[in-house]
Amino acid sequence: MPAVAFHRNDSLPFLEAKRCMRSDLVYQKHFHEEYSIGLIDEGETNAWCDGTLLQVEAGRLISFPPMMMHACQPLTDMEWQYKMLYINTEWLQGLKQRELDQLYIPYLLEDGKNKACRLQINRTVDALISKGTPLEIETALIELVQALVSQNPSDLEHEPHGRQDQKYVNIIKEYLHEHFDENVTLEKLENEVGISRFHLVRLFKKWSHLPPHAYQILLRINHAKLELTKQRPISEIAAEVGFYDQSHFSRAFVKIVGATPQKYALSI
């Protein structure tokens, strides 16, 4: 793996991830036009943020609003690794104004929010690196942003239900059942339902106990099980149900079925 690597998905032009494993990199004062948030995986760094000097240790997140001047100098004689996400500000316009105001508070996150957001930034970057579906990547990103703007991320699980909300969720489910083998995006679901993707993800997870991409994977695996009983080639089935490659299909299959596609097919 290169010391500095960038990861993108053509269907998600508003997002870029960066992974750095170079201990000798010192960044001079600069700014990003995007909203940026980073996680220190190993080592420590001195971060200068618009006139404020901070020390950021492993496991901590730091965020920079667009156009904020900052610089970074890792401590010497230390292994140094970090990851960053750069998010186009136009994509963030789906947030409410109070959420945008909360998001644009810079610098370090408090401990409770740091823990919740660390989990989500890792999920987002991992989904990008492993070539997850656009639906999986953007859902992870939205859950990161929701954790960032929430006063208490656990409160998202306890919002009241409504009949209209269930109607929206049913529409999404119907669409996923009809298009389970396609490259569904949150933009498509947003247009189908008529609510913002930020609200959509929150509602779907609350009513279905799974985010949309995980629900779609279940539909794909259930269909694949039926096709495997016909003794068809596994690679053919993997492509048919929309997986990136056979190994990706096998990993998802094992997590749900408890056996590889090959073992499942041989047991019939």
Q: Which pLDDT value is given to residue 122?
A: 96
- Hey, what are 45's tokens? 């760094």
Q: Which pLDDT value is given to residue 76?
A: 74
Q: Which pLDDT value is given to residue 47?
A: 86
Question: Which residues of the chain have a pLDDT value below 70?
Answer: 1, 23, 25, 105-107, 151-162, 268
- Among the listed residues 53, 21, 24, the one whose alpha carbon sits nearest the alpha carbon of residue 40: 21
Identity (one letter) of the amino acid at 63?
S
CB-count exposure of residue 171 (10 Å: 0-12, 13-18, 19+): middle
Contact partners, residue 122, CB within 8 Å, separation at least 6? 39, 83
Task: Give whole-number Cα distances, 164 to 139, 168, 195, in Å.
Answer: 22, 6, 11
The mean pLDDT of the chain is 88
Count of other CB atoms within 10 angstroms of residue 24: 8
**What length does the chain have?**
268
Helix 246-257 vs helix 212-228: angle between axes, to the nearest 10 degrees? Answer: 90
Helix 197-208 vs helix 134-149: angle between axes, to the nearest 10 degrees? Answer: 90
Alpha helices in the chain (DSSP H): 97-103, 111-129, 134-149, 163-178, 186-193, 197-208, 212-228, 234-240, 246-257, 261-266
Q: Which pLDDT value is given to residue 158?
A: 47
Name residue, tokens 């987002």.
Answer: 124
Q: Cα separation of 70 and 35, whole Å? A: 13
Angle (CA) 23-14-36 rounded to 5° is 40
Q: Cα separation of 57 and 252, whole Å? A: 34
Q: Which pLDDT value is given to residue 10?
A: 93
* Domains, the chain, ordered by start: 4-149 (2.60.120.280), 159-268 (1.10.10.60)
- Record the pTM: 0.86
State whether residue 32 is helix, strand or coil: coil
- Hey, what are 165's tokens? 């909300």
Could you tell me if 33 and 66 are in contact, meaning their C-beta atoms sit under 8 angstroms apart? yes
Could you tell me if 66 and 34 are in contact, meaning their C-beta atoms sit under 8 angstroms apart? yes
Count of other CB atoms within 10 angstroms of residue 21: 17
